[in-house]
Structure formats: C-alpha cells, structure tokens
Amino acid sequence: MLLTICGGWDSNPRRPTPAGPPREYVWKPSDERIENTENKRIDVDRLLNDFKMFCKVDLQLADLTIKLHVREIKRFLEKSKLNPYTITQNDLRSYLLTYSDKNPYVYKTVLAALKRFFRDFLKRPEVVEGFRFPKYPLEPKRVPSKEELQKFYKLLEDDREKALFLMFATTGLRRSEVLNLEIKDIDLEKRMVIPKARISRTKRVWVSFFNEECQEVLKRYLAARNDKNPKLFPLARDTLWKIFGRGRKVGINLNPQALREWFCSEMGRLGVPDRYVDAFCGRVPRSVLARHYTDFSPEKLKEIYDKTNLRVLN
C-alpha cells in the first residue's frame, strides 16, 4: 500500500505553495510503503518489524504484549492514513476519539501501543503527551463456587479434559502457561509444575503445584497417551473454548481466568497469605516484606500448598 498526498495542490506549478499544516494522506493501492511530504518512502513492514524488535530487545516486553502492540500500530497506520513522522497531537486525538465509547480495556490497549510507538520508539513524546489511560469501572468480582466447578466437571468427556480442568483450577496458572507446558515441566510425584520463563514488570516464573485429584487424573491421562508430542496438553485454542463452552448449556460460565480467580479466592479462604498466592500465580510480590524477606523456595511453597489440602471435587 502506498500513502500519497492529496488535496490542496495548486494547479499552477509556478505559484509557491502556501505554508500550513501537513496535508491529508490517503491510501492508494501500490506496494507496502508510505510516501511522506518530502517524497521519502517508508517501508511499513520494516517499520513494524523494527518496532517489534525494539519492544523485544530494548523494552524486554512479553511476546503477547509485543503482538498486541504491533497489531494496534499496524491498524493505526492503515486506518489513520497519516505519516507517523509528521502526525500531530490533534491527529492522534481524532484517532483516539473513535475508541472513546468502547470498552476502557480496549482504549487502554490502543493507547499503550501508541505511547510505546511514538514516545519510546520514534522518540516523539510530544505526540502522546497528556493522553491518560481510562479509569476502570469498579465492579464486584464474582468468583464461581465449588459447586459450579463440580457441576461443570461432570460435563467433561475424558481424562485429558479433566486433567486440563484440574490443572487450571489447582495451580492458578494463566491460560498460556498451562497450554505451553511440556511433559518435562511437571514432576508427577512432587505434584510440582514449573511454567515456561515469562518475566516482565508484573510477572515472574515461580513454581506452582497441583493437588492429589489432578495428580490421579493426570497419571491416567499420560499413561494412555501414545504420541510423541512434548506438550502436556497438545490442543488448539478453539478446542479449549469448545470444552469450556459446554458449561453455558447448564448456565455455568467458566473459563481459565475464572478458574484462576477461584484458586486465588480459595487459597485466601484457606488462610494462605497474599504473597504466597501471588507466587503460586506467577505475580511479582507487591510489598517489601514479600520481595526481600520471604522464603519462596520450592520446598517452602510446597509446604504451604500441602497444608491447605485444596480440594475441587469434594
């Protein structure tokens, strides 16, 4: 795609063009490049790839965050029809206005990507200066009950689905962490799981554990497998949503995030301090006590986990 200037040109080539704001840009089918006022062409694919590498190497962002940032900047370039090197704050304000009536989480995702792109990558902080993230509406969190989990469990068809469900419910791990697990990442006898390294400002890699209920089903599931796939749960994302979609038929709306929230709530109810719940769930400790004076060794975490006698099915 080629971005070319349109509108405002004088038909008399001898008459000087008056000074003024940057002219409007429109998309014109051509190749995957942008043309600015100085007739310099910008390779969009290369620009996006450089931005991706900047996020990964310079900013050390997580892969999912990078993917979202690149997606939003690509959409911005396609929809705004503006050159990123000459765009003004008013131009950006007009673009963000189209997201003002959407979910605040969507607006935050868009603005976060734009801030990374202009302020950090292009070194144009003046373009995004002053734009604030939206305030999220405070809504009471509804955590599913144990009875709902048990009712949903009866809908599961085989040991793979049951092991997957119990892995989510008894480890507190994120969806991507469970789906990325390999068989070698778990210790069946110690009931210990070490998720793939995923480190950011709010995420760390700790160890977590699963309970005896999950251990029993997991052993049956692995014993029955006859493939060489290293993944613990080799299934597509669509398959995952089909599994959880069965609950809607009986009025139970469960998903991996809801099971993570149930785990946190249940561990708190069983008396586990917040700092250890955060460790099981892979969150960065929030207090000085947790960060510098708490034992997060696998042995200590297993001792705390086992004392809870966490149960899902009874």
Quote the domain boundaries for residue 34.
2-7+22-128
> Does any domain span residue 141?
no
> Does any domain span residue 177?
yes
Cα-only R_g, the chain = 25
Regarding whether 220 and 252 lie in a shared domain, the answer is yes
Regarding whether 151 and 122 lie in a shared domain, the answer is no
> Does any domain span residue 137?
no
Question: Is residue 13 scored above 50 in pLDDT?
Answer: no
> Does any domain span residue 98?
yes
Regarding whether 203 and 95 lie in a shared domain, the answer is no
Question: How confident is the model over 126-172, as pLDDT tens digits?
Answer: 999 999 998 877 677 789 999 999 999 999 999 999 999 999 999 99
Helix (H, G, I), strand (E, B) or coil at 187: strand
Question: Is residue 29 scored above 50 in pLDDT?
Answer: no
The strand order across the sheet containing 192-193 reads 186-187, 192-193, 208-209
Regarding whether 85 and 176 lie in a shared domain, the answer is no
> Does any domain span residue 15?
no
Domain boundary among 63, 97, 128: 128
Regarding whether 95 and 189 lie in a shared domain, the answer is no
> Does any domain span residue 134?
no
Regarding whether 180 and 105 lie in a shared domain, the answer is no
> Does any domain span residue 228?
yes
CA triple 257-261-266, angle to 5 deg: 145
Q: Check which CATH number belongs to the domain holding 110 and give it.
A: 1.10.150.130
> Does any domain span residue 14?
no
The structural domain count of the chain equals: 2
Q: Check which CATH number belongs to the domain holding 177 and give it.
A: 1.10.443.10
In the predicted model, what is the mean pLDDT of residues 107-124?
96
Regarding whether 303 and 196 lie in a shared domain, the answer is yes
Regarding whether 256 and 178 lie in a shared domain, the answer is yes
Domain boundary among 101, 128, 155: 128
Which segment of 198-202, 240-244, 293-297 scores lowest on mean pLDDT?
198-202
Regarding whether 170 and 60 lie in a shared domain, the answer is no
In the predicted model, what is the mean pLDDT of residues 227-250?
91
Looking at per-residue pLDDT, the higher value among 109 and 296 belongs to 109
Question: Is residue 47 scored above 50 in pLDDT?
Answer: yes
Regarding whether 112 and 164 lie in a shared domain, the answer is no
Domain boundary among 76, 99, 128: 128
Looking at per-residue pLDDT, the higher value among 37 and 24 belongs to 37
Regarding whether 165 and 256 lie in a shared domain, the answer is yes
Question: How confident is the model over 162-215, as pLDDT tens digits?
Answer: 999 999 999 999 998 899 999 999 999 999 998 775 554 445 556 899 999 999
Regarding whether 293 and 150 lie in a shared domain, the answer is yes
Give the chain's mean pLDDT: 83
Question: How confident is the model over 49-88, as pLDDT tens digits?
Answer: 999 999 999 998 888 899 999 999 999 999 988 889 999 9
Return the pLDDT at 106.
Answer: 92
Question: Is residue 257 scored above 90 in pLDDT?
Answer: yes
